[in-house]
Amino acid sequence: MEKFNNILILTGAGISAESGLATFRAANGLWNNHKVEDVATIEAFQRNPQYVHEFYNDLKKELQKAKPNPAHLAITRLQNEYKDANINIVTQNVDTLHEKAGNHNVWHVHGQINQAVCLNCGHIIETFADVDTETICPNCQVQGMMKPNIVFFGENLLYMDKVDNLLRDCDLFLSIGTSGVVFPAAAFVQTAKYHGAKTFEFNLEMTSNNYYFDRHIFGPAGTTLPAFVDEMINSIKTAD
Ligand code: BV8
């Protein structure tokens, strides 16, 4: 296996499945028995902010209990042992399992469950406590203008300038546990491939993006990713 220098790892709900968190497809588009369009859209938030706050406060409690699984931990090993490489994680997940596993360079393009943003001054708070229409922004002291720092359908993604640079520079693109149906994240592999990266997909099954991947590694990421990381680390040891 060649030595890679700039690795971009895109993750989706599937990498958190073995931590006991439901994926969106498995939940048939339901988020904790709520219809997606009732909670994960900017219109829903404007229509009934308290309802959306309560949904994410409940989800926050659930995600806070989850523990990283061997797939997340394999990324930590790769970042620590695969020498002289920039390794960035672009995640669609709003859970904090990458951070709990010790991963660094994590970019939450769909936001983070433990953050809220003030629509009055833009201040971001990090908390696992409830946030709702009564919450006062600690920065501008305005009450009732906090929104979960979650990218709803119809909102632009976060960190896209950074992601564009990572996609242009990467020589290895790993897609782990994503169905490739939510855009623009679903198109990241095309950009990486256009710029010459090798593209590998880790999933239980072929996805709608399969054409853009050079390699498909089927199976639960908690098994396939640690084995792949072993292969990558051993490949540089033998090369030394
Ligand atoms: C935007 C926050 C510009 C909420 C989320 C047509 C073309 C292009 C775009 C669109 C279009 N129609 C509409 C759009 C725009 C829309 C979109 O893509 N819609 C889709 C439904 C067609 N996109 C947007 O609105 C984005 N913004 O485009 O801005 C704009 C501006 C204004 C107007 C228009 C456009 C914003 C998208 C972000 C939405 N927010 N999350 C929350 O999380 O609560 S998205 C949500 O979906 C999550 O982030 C989640 O990550 C994602 C679902 O995807 P996956 O992560 O892939 O999860 P899924 O369950 O689908 O798949 C899991 C996979 O894992 C499966 O393949 C399974 O086989 C595999 N798996 C399971 N277990 C394992 C496993 N693999 C390995 N091991 C295992 N153990």
Residues 57-80, buried b or exposed e (16+ Cβ, 10 A)? bebbeebeeeebbbbbbbbbbbbe
As to burial, measured by CB atoms within 10 angstroms (0-12 exposed, 13-18 middle, 19+ buried), residue 235 is middle
Pairing mode of beta strands 30-31, 146-150 = unpaired
Which residue has tokens 């690795």? Answer: 7
Ligand 1: which residues within 6 Å by Cβ?
A: 12-14, 17-18, 23-25, 31, 40, 92-94, 110, 150-157, 177-179, 181-184, 202-205, 207, 220-221
C-beta of residue 175 within 8 angstroms of C-beta of residue 209: yes
53 is catalytic: no
Q: What is the pTM of this model?
A: 0.96
Q: How far is the CA of 14 from the centre of ligand 1 (A)?
A: 12
Q: In whole angstroms, what is the distance from residue 16 CA to residue 97 CA?
A: 7
Please tell me the residue having the least CA distance from ligand 1 atom 66: 179
Give the active site residue among 34, 104, 110, 123. Answer: 110
**Sequence-distant (≥ 6) Cβ neighbours of residue 194 within 8 angstroms:** none
Closest atom of ligand 1 to CA, residue 12: 56
Pocket perturbation via mutation, ligand 1, pick of 182, 218, 223 by most ligand atoms within 8 A of CB: 182
Atom number, ligand 1, closest to the C-alpha of residue 178 = 57
d(CA 153, ligand 1 centre) in Å: 9
Q: For residue 194, with 0-12 CB atoms within 10 Å meaning exposed, 13-18 middle and 19 or more buried, which class applies? A: exposed
Sequential pLDDT tens for the chain (240 residues): 899 999 999 999 999 999 999 888 777 666 667 787 788 999 999 999 999 999 999 999 999 999 999 999 999 999 999 999 999 999 999 999 999 999 999 999 999 999 999 999 999 999 999 999 999 999 999 999 999 999 999 899 999 999 999 999 999 999 999 999 999 999 999 999 999 999 999 999 999 888 999 999 999 999 999 999 999 999 998 776
